[in-house]
């Protein structure tokens, strides 16, 4: 079985639409796929340059707890990204970035760590990409930057094997603390550092 490393961003549900639109800005400018219309819980409609389960039909998540997307993301080039690009036959663009995909994304409108938060779980499609996710500082910066720009509370690096996640970013602070460390002895201790959820998010969920 191959490696399935990923990054998980936890954020208030009301910020998911903005986070997805910021993610869309990281998509390759020339990717030739039809626009995907997504209806989010609460009724917001957004258009994304990705597919959902490799299809471009409109997706209605107004009564769903999850959204699945197949994304392609532009990453800045460091040594790890350049090595990956060379091995895979990808070119580095004039802006110094490399297109990498598919990167699979599951949006959970109820985070597994706290039901009043949402999560965006990004997973590498291959073992080679997983190793890139582990090695590249520029890849990490994209996901921690997305967490920060989207009003997130936490970004975790997850090896997908049941082992402890690494906390990459929490409440505005970049870190490399492992879950199970003295600072974050368990997931409950990590979640306890997050701001209290907005009660309006909970009310909106109840109206779904």
- Tokens at 192, concatenated: 């306890």
Residue 204 has pLDDT above 50, yes or no: no
What's this model's pTM, rounded to 2 decimal places? 0.94
- Residues 175-185 as b/e (b if ≥16 CB within 10 A, e otherwise) read bebebeeeebe
Residues 156-189: pLDDT tens digits? Answer: 999 998 889 999 999 999 999 999 999 999 999 9
Output the DSSP codes for 97-158: EEEEEEEEEEEESS-SS-TTSEEEEEEESSHHHHHHHHH-HHHHHHHHHHHHHTT-SEEEEE
Rounded CA gap, 150 and 131, in Å? Answer: 26
Residue 206 has pLDDT above 50, yes or no: no
Rounded CA gap, 199 and 208, in Å? Answer: 15
Residue ranges of domains in the chain: 6-206
- What pLDDT was estimated at residue 197? 84
Residues 27-71: pLDDT tens digits? Answer: 998 877 899 999 999 999 999 999 999 999 999 999 999 999 999
Give one word for 172, left, alpha or beta, with left for phi > 0 and alpha for psi -120 to 50.
Answer: left
Output the DSSP codes for 158-204: E-SSSSPPEEEEETTEEEEEETTSSS-SSHHHHHTTSPPPPHHHHHH
């Amino acid at each position: 079985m191959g490696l399935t490393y990923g990054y998980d961003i936890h954020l208030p549900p009301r910020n998911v639409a903005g986070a997805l639109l910021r993610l869309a800005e990281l998509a390759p400018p020339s990717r030739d796929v039809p626009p995907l219309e997504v209806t989010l819980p609460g009724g917001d409609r957004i258009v994304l340059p990705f597919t959902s389960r490799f299809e471009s039909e409109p997706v209605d998540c107004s009564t769903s707890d999850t959204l699945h997307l197949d994304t392609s993301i532009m990453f800045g080039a460091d040594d790890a990204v350049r090595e990956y690009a060379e091995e895979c036959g990808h070119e580095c663009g004039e802006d110094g970035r490399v297109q990498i995909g598919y990167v699979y994304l599951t949006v959970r409108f109820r985070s597994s760590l706290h039901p009043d938060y949402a999560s965006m779980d990004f997973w590498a499609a291959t073992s080679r990409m997983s190793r890139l996710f582990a090695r590249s500082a520029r890849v990490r910066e994209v996901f921690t930057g997305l967490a920060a720009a989207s009003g997130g509370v936490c970004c975790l690096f997850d090896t997908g094997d049941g082992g402890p996640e690494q906390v990459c970013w929490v409440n505005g602070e970049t870190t490399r603390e492992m879950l199970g460390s003295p600072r974050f002895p368990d997931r409950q201790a990590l979640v306890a550092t997050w701001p209290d959820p907005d009660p309006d998010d909970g009310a909106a969920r109840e109206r779904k």
